Structure 1
């Protein structure tokens, strides 16, 4: 029986740590090994609702990547998989979430306080998982060579040293300079940390491996560490991103054009993955200075700082483009923070997301939103009311505040949460042109995606459930790992 743990650290952010852990989780699951994912500390605006440890009826917030890794293990996500989540609300401030619940705000100048605030909770979660599972696969954060952060590190070598686990270092060759990234990272570590690194994985390689072989031989000789494999560049990988927006588009000559403005604090943009990969949809993420014109549907996404992002929309002139889009018959959908923007006013009297105050909304519906300290964290299911039929939907809520007003009498959906409470969600305009909802993950359900696409185009569309797609992609990832990585050597590293 394989027992132990292994930590995947990266030379940079977005080096492939999340996908590497997900792929290895699925490989071990195939081998009938009891495995769980773990990330001590995450900083991301893409999150998911998981079961709170000790309170399964209560929702808790974890990084989206750990929810994906849980799926790779065949597990329902829990807050132990990601005990500390930091959600930036500005360039200088982050919300701190511990064991799924928001506990405080952390300013950049006091970031070092995170160790005293959270490390004990991190270790609690890790040792609980060690008792439950034979193997724990751990994902690092950023790079272990950030010398300015090492003193208070709980996410990379600081954690690995505390629990005495081996480390594999991954680097993305597609960025260039992979040998410098790997050797430079190792050279900046202490002697004990260097010894903790048991091997390297090179990610995103394009071309013939023979052309790389001399470099691999040099790397092993120079570092006295094994290259555990070279992963190829996988195109059109339909898996949740941790934080970076993947603007790769599956279908540019499609019948439905959807545009999503990229807000400075956009959150949960993984909501749109099922749309991005649907063959009938051309999904575009629109940056500052670009136009929203030419869309069949504009989606206002979630936001970690709704009033600030609403101001950004106005600065880009997107508010005027949205209203012109509606005058010409286009559709509009607001999700979570985007839904709050559709009303008359957003009030933040306690300064929860930014400075205290109020902002005028787009005034497309008669309702108001008041931001509150308590965060709604729910997994929900029910029926949406786009047309006369009741179409099943499912997803999750992650938001601060409540929306109230006459317009909400015409609800978008009737839903039930994990505690059995049934209530109305969102709003739909009388002419069916505008929808607002608090539900994330709206497009993952086969039935709700079919309803939304039909609402946009007036036609029926063939759809596939996103969970089915995710499973197919995880199997594809595991096939790739088994072909290109030395799995036996990785398992031996875990056991030792």
Structure 2
């Protein structure tokens, strides 16, 4: 068993992508590999096969490695619900909300969960491929670190550092990051990878030689910029739009402060018949065929924000002109008469008035619903699959007309009597081609196609593995992973 860790000079340097690429590259050589992220801070989550939740990026990496999702792949998940606090999820299940100071004091306990999960992975995987978080050179976070070098030191594993040249300053990022590490941490850095390079590699080579001479560390390769690479973002909202047809269905998603699982919209962003727009604060919702209210980690606060932007008025006007409205998870809860938080799970106890578009009320409760589900939409009985991650339950007359009939004999969501408004607790519902077609048809798209999103993800994972073979030092990587040379 070997553990290899990928750390980055910054957030979004390419750690998740490189871990995914290395997992698929190893799998294609018949190596049993387990992706692992000790600590993740993200509002994009997935439900695991063993009934917990992990970061969405680790679910993609599990697909790259062709292993089942499991809470051991990401034992610590932090889901921010304010600017200074986050829900703390240990081994797939929430233990409460902590501010930064409280969590810092909790880190020694969290580290025990991290090491135990890593140990369990080591029992069955030949290689554990680890992703760090942010940067190892965050001086204020070094004490008690469990996400980067603190973990690497604890398990005594080698480290690769990746940097994004597209952001600029790549040599300063790499040399500066290394310089800010301790002597023992510097020693375990076995090389650098430069990510997202555009242009003639010959123009970069003098810089590569300088970096190797200055740091004494090898450059293991330079990965090219891929214009059409699409893997779920770990946390940042991905706004790149694939060019759609002139008569594309116009879909608008307001970006709430605590938007969660916005990867729900990736299949629409990639759909050739859809023009998807994320609308930030300060802008009115433009004319559209479909408005989708996304998931939220803080439903009551995001409802207040929605009203402060005047988006409730934009939605009312949209419906008067015959547009369709869909709410997903927290967005579904917003469509009802109120969201009641008697225990103060999202802040001070109280009730927030909903949009009043569906006759139902939601009560936030401690127990979180975590399920992978399958069923059929009431729209054309199209097959649908998805996952539930929510802490509230909704009740009311509106639920007598559900949007989804689940295989476990439960009903989910609502389709309004006039057919204009729908809501569901299911994330990932656009990943099913049949459900995608049915929902887009409901929204007004004539002859809607279904995009096989799972096939697109598989294609891109294989493309990443190809890049490892073509652009990285595979002999050095095999040695670091402790696997035989091909």
TM-score, normalised with respect to structure 2 = 0.98
1:441 maps onto 2:441 in alignment:
no
Cα distance per residue 1:190-239 (max 9 Å; x no partner): 00000000000000111111111000000001111110011111112121
Whether the 8 Å CA contact 1:297–1:333 is kept in 2: the answer is: yes
Superposed counterparts of 1:39-58, under 5 Å: 39-52=37-50
Q: How many residues align?
A: 482
Work out the CA distance in 1 between the residues paired with 2:103 and 2:358. Answer: 40
- 1:426 maps to which of 410, 413, 420: 413
Work out the CA distance in 1 between the residues paired with 2:40 and 2:307. Answer: 31
Cα distance per residue 1:261-291 (max 9 Å; x no partner): 0000000000000000000001010001112
Matching residue of 2:266: 273
Whether the 8 Å CA contact 1:293–1:325 is kept in 2: the answer is: no
Matching residue of 1:242: 234
Matching residue of 1:56: none
Matching residue of 2:110: 118
Shift of 1:109: 2.3
1:307 maps onto 2:307 in alignment:
no
Whether the 8 Å CA contact 1:236–1:248 is kept in 2: the answer is: no
- 1:13 maps to which of 2, 11, 14: 11
TM-score, normalised with respect to structure 1 = 0.96
Work out the CA distance in 1 between the residues paired with 2:409 and 2:8. Answer: 44
1:415 maps onto 2:402 in alignment:
no
Matching residue of 1:295: 288
Cα distance per residue 1:346-389 (max 9 Å; x no partner): 00111112221100000001100000000000000001102xx3
Where 1:222 maps in the other structure, the secondary structure is: helix
Where 2:418 maps in the other structure, the secondary structure is: coil
Cα distance per residue 1:128-158 (max 9 Å; x no partner): 1011110010000000001111111001000
Matching residue of 2:243: 251
Whether the 8 Å CA contact 1:203–1:231 is kept in 2: the answer is: yes
Whether the 8 Å CA contact 1:394–1:442 is kept in 2: the answer is: yes
Whether the 8 Å CA contact 2:5–2:129 is kept in 1: the answer is: yes
Whether the 8 Å CA contact 1:38–1:137 is kept in 2: the answer is: yes
Where 2:48 maps in the other structure, the secondary structure is: strand
Shift of 1:254: 4.6
1:479 maps onto 2:466 in alignment:
yes
Cα distance per residue 1:289-318 (max 9 Å; x no partner): 112121110000000000000111000000
Work out the CA distance in 2 between the residues paired with 1:14 and 1:409. Answer: 44
Shift of 1:458: 4.9
Shift of 1:17: 0.3
Work out the CA distance in 2 between the residues paired with 1:254 and 1:300. Answer: 23
Matching residue of 1:55: none
Shift of 1:116: 2.1
Work out the CA distance in 2 between the residues paired with 1:226 and 1:170. Answer: 12
Work out the CA distance in 1 between the residues paired with 2:221 and 2:35. Answer: 21
1:488 maps onto 2:466 in alignment:
no
- 1:403 maps to which of 378, 389, 394: 394
- 2:166 maps to which of 164, 167, 174: 174
Work out the CA distance in 1 between the residues paired with 2:40 and 2:443. Answer: 36
Work out the CA distance in 2 between the residues paired with 1:430 and 1:43. Answer: 40
- 1:60 maps to which of 49, 52, 58: 52
Work out the CA distance in 2 between the residues paired with 1:480 and 1:165. Answer: 24
Work out the CA distance in 2 between the residues paired with 1:483 and 1:245. Answer: 30
Cα distance per residue 1:82-101 (max 9 Å; x no partner): 00000000001100000000
Cα distance per residue 1:67-114 (max 9 Å; x no partner): 000000111210000000000000011000000000121102223123
Cα distance per residue 1:311-338 (max 9 Å; x no partner): 1100000000001000000010000000
Whether the 8 Å CA contact 2:35–2:130 is kept in 1: the answer is: yes
Shift of 1:459: 1.9
Matching residue of 2:254: 261
Whether the 8 Å CA contact 1:166–1:494 is kept in 2: the answer is: no
Q: Which stretch shifts more, 341-350 or 479-488?
A: 479-488
Whether the 8 Å CA contact 2:249–2:445 is kept in 1: the answer is: no
Q: Which stretch shifts more, 106-115 or 182-191?
A: 106-115
Work out the CA distance in 2 between the residues paired with 1:285 and 1:293. Answer: 10
Where 2:139 maps in the other structure, the secondary structure is: coil
Work out the CA distance in 1 between the residues paired with 2:207 and 2:247. Answer: 43
Work out the CA distance in 2 between the residues paired with 1:356 and 1:204. Answer: 46
1:464 maps onto 2:462 in alignment:
no
Whether the 8 Å CA contact 1:428–1:434 is kept in 2: the answer is: yes
Shift of 1:391: 1.0
Where 2:227 maps in the other structure, the secondary structure is: coil
Work out the CA distance in 2 between the residues paired with 1:231 and 1:324. Answer: 47
Where 1:443 maps in the other structure, the secondary structure is: helix
Where 2:52 maps in the other structure, the secondary structure is: strand
Instruction: List runs of 5+ in structure 2 lacking aligned partners.
Output: none
Work out the CA distance in 2 between the residues paired with 1:428 and 1:92. Answer: 37
1:205 maps onto 2:197 in alignment:
yes
Work out the CA distance in 2 between the residues paired with 1:339 and 1:328. Answer: 21
Superposed counterparts of 1:56-455, under 5 Å: 59-252=51-244, 253-386=246-379, 389-416=380-407, 421-455=408-442
